[in-house]
Amino acid sequence: MHDLPPMARFGGLLATDLRDVTSDPEALDSRGWWAVVAGFEGSVRCARFGDVRPAPLPAPGRWRGPAPEAWTSSLDRDAYTAGVRRIREHIAAGEVYQANLCRVLSAPLPDPDGADVDALAAHLAAGNPAPYAGTVRLPAHGTEVVTASPELYLRRTGRVLESGPIKGTGRTAADLLDKDHAENVMIVDLVRNDLGRVCATGSVTVPALCAVEQHPGLVHLVSTVRGELAAGAGWTDLLAATFPPGSVTGAPKASALEIIERLEQGPRGPYCGGIGWVDADRGTGELAVGIRTFWIDRAAPGGPALRFGTGAGITWGSDPEGEWAETELKAARLLAIASGTHDPSTHTPSTHSPTAGRQR
């Protein structure tokens, strides 16, 4: 049994002294401070901690990650580009406007007993700082997740809600295409509709549309959607109305989810779900979209594995090879950090990946 103590770390706070674990999101409107990991397929893990205090991340120390060549992909290059072409056929048939196609990368852990997601978090913070970084370590409950997410899924401050969908990725702003802007606008409409299901009538606005944000090694187009939670609604209603996040599903969401289930080879797990914290006493919370996320799967066939997801939004204007390259760009820096090969003096990592022709 992996015996590291349970903990969570978000926004400069360290949570220890585990009091309760539940799969019922109604607990998030009860009392106490909760860490939350919601899997893309609908599982929810809410953990209440009794001791929450400011604490800096330790300096990067002991972390032994997989060898770079050990990573395999749930979809290899040929399968992924074929999936892009299939989604374009669905778009041509009028079944969907956009769908996210993702793949999960996996590698065996060389030192399972010593593998600690909080140690990996320190390396990610040094090599790929992110606004919604966080760690949840609940070994006895099968949850060991660390995220370097750049994307806000939901922020709640009392009754005020905010979401920050990302669509559009390039190495620089000059790489962003008309297709990227169109993607972003489509998903903003979807997020507006999702929030509108649980917000007071007329309260949903878009304070920012397609703003360019700089992140380590790449840029994103980011929009902001804001609303006021309707009277009597809580976290259960909010998650039911908005999950999974629109930026990692597609539009219309129901059709996109059906296509995703047919094309992807296995579950996404915490990747593309929601990861963050809720302070029920203060009526606040912040959940990131679970992208740029690693998790340890100790029940993996063949032994404990480290997993990581990457994907891209597919529209009619998508080029299959270009979308594959986007998944590589999003993964390259993070995999290099996890495998111990990241060179901090290199501004932009190589997009070469040993998973391009290797499918598990």
Q: Scanning the structure block, which residue is given the tokens 């939350």?
A: 36
As to burial, measured by CB atoms within 10 angstroms (0-12 exposed, 13-18 middle, 19+ buried), residue 117 is: buried
d(CA 112, CA 320): 36
Asked whether the beta carbons of 230 and 264 are under 8 A apart, the reply is no
The yes-or-no answer on residue 179 being catalytic is no
Q: Per the residue annotation, which of 89, 144, 167, 179 is the catalytic one?
A: 167
Task: Count CB atoms within 10 A of the CB of residue 282.
Answer: 10
Q: Which amino acid is at 345?
A: S
d(CA 177, CA 183): 10
Task: Count CB atoms within 10 A of the CB of residue 14.
Answer: 18
What tokens appear for 272 in the block? 């593309």
What tokens appear for 169 in the block? 């990725």
Q: Is the peptide bond before 131 cis (omega within 30 degrees of 0)?
A: no
d(CA 347, CA 344): 7
What φ, ψ does residue 195 adopt, rounded to 5°? Answer: -65, -35
8-state DSSP, 68: G
Q: How far apart, in Å, are the Cα atoms of 258 and each of 253, 254, 263, 315? A: 9, 7, 9, 16
Strands 160-164 and 33-38, sheet pairing: unpaired
Q: Per the residue annotation, which of 26, 69, 151, 321 is the catalytic one?
A: 151
The yes-or-no answer on residue 330 being catalytic is no
d(CA 153, CA 339): 28
Q: Please report the DSSP string for 12-39 in residue order.
A: TEEEEEEEEEES-GGGGGTSSEEEEEE-
Strands 250-251 and 13-22, sheet pairing: unpaired
Strand partners, 115: none
Q: Which residues are catalytic?
A: 151, 167
